[in-house]
Structure 1
Amino acid sequence: MSIWAVLGNVLWIVWGSGLVCFVFWCLAGTLAALTVVGLPFAVAAFRIAGFSVLPFGRRLVVVEATGGQRIAGTAIASFLWIVLAGWWLALLHLLWGVFHFLTLVGIPFGLAHFKLASICLSPLGKRNVAVGIAPAPDQA
């Protein structure tokens, strides 16, 4: 991880609301884990919680791009996720992203929040990898 990624992650936790996002993702994962049906969502939420606390220098890619296999039925499961929790988390990230875009210094944090907002709509089948290991964005 480069020094810029480390600096970005430290500033993200202190000023970029990274800790708040981490708590909300962990809360979503805990609520999903309370049911047997929600266990795949809980795993995805905790994976994204780890990404949301340290987003710089890492990327979430689809699991097929890393040689993994996607779970069957993810389209129906993703729809349920959006209805039950995804739009709440996406709204949180969109609001924080707009807030950070109001300042010139906060633009990288706003972009990170917008990236997390898009992940909120389809969290299943993602893997957290380092930028140097991740495939190019057009392959993911």
Structure 2
Amino acid sequence: MPLLSLLLNVLWVVTGGIWMALGWLFAAVLMALSIVGLPWARSALTIAHYTLLPFGQTAVRRDEFRGREDMGTGALGFIGNVVWFVLAGWWLALGHLVAAAALAITIIGLPFAWAHLKLALLALWPIGTEIVPSDDMGRRVAGRP
């Protein structure tokens, strides 16, 4: 992890990023307890990790990144995202929006507010998304494998 990403991630955790990561973890536990929600629990755990350390990583559509569709990016993924939105997506997005508003009050908090806004969008529609290191995404966009 580059030094700037490490510094931003430490500041993120100290300024409250850990609370939203715990929110995602709580959502994952609730989904896992239902047994039926295990696919959503896996996504929530992945995003909980991303929420804890967002700098140096990026969320991308899995079909665009891998170049092929799978179950999570097709019709089943759409249905899964609708279920997710109703059960957990809206309250996680609301938490990220509140955190973004609080952080946007200060100039120093603006990068963290922006990260919360990106996470709020991800909270609404997470299935079919993959978390990749920012370096991998840069290589992929540049056309290099």
| Superposition TM-score, scaled by structure 2 size | 0.88
Q: How many corresponding residue pairs?
A: 135
Unmatched 5+ residue regions in structure 1? none
1:14 aligned residue: 14
2:114 aligned residue: 111
Give the share of equivalent positions with the same residue, in percent: 39
Is the partner of 2:136 in helix, strand or coil?
coil
1:75 aligned residue: 78
1:86 aligned residue: 89
Instruction: Give the deviation of 1:60 after TM superposition.
Output: 1.1
Q: C-alpha deviations, 1:18-46, integer Å up to 9, x for none?
A: 11011110000010111232111100000
Q: C-alpha deviations, 1:43-88, integer Å up to 9, x for none?
A: 0000000100000010011111332643151111111111111000
> Taking CA–CA contacts closer than 8 Å with sequence separation of 6 or more, which of the two structures ends up with the larger relative contact order?
1
Quick one: distance in 2 between partners of 1:70 and 1:50? 23
Quick one: distance in 1 between partners of 2:70 and 2:11? 34
Matched ranges for 1:1-140 at <5 A: 1-15=1-15, 17-67=16-66, 69-71=69-71, 72=74, 73-134=76-137, 135-136=140-141
Worse-matched range after superposition: 108-117 or 125-134: 125-134
Quick one: distance in 1 between partners of 2:86 and 2:109? 30
What one-letter code is carried by the residue in structure 2 that aligns with 1:5?
S
Moved beyond 2 Å, runs of 4+: none
Instruction: Give the deviation of 1:104 after TM superposition.
Output: 0.4
CA RMSD of aligned residues (A): 1.3
Unmatched 5+ residue regions in structure 2? none
Instruction: Give the deviation of 1:2 after TM superposition.
Output: 1.7
What one-letter code is carried by the residue in structure 2 that aligns with 1:86?
G
Quick one: distance in 1 between partners of 2:111 and 2:62? 25
Give the structure with the larger helix fraction.
Answer: 2
| Superposition TM-score, scaled by structure 1 size | 0.91
Is the partner of 1:37 in helix, strand or coil?
coil
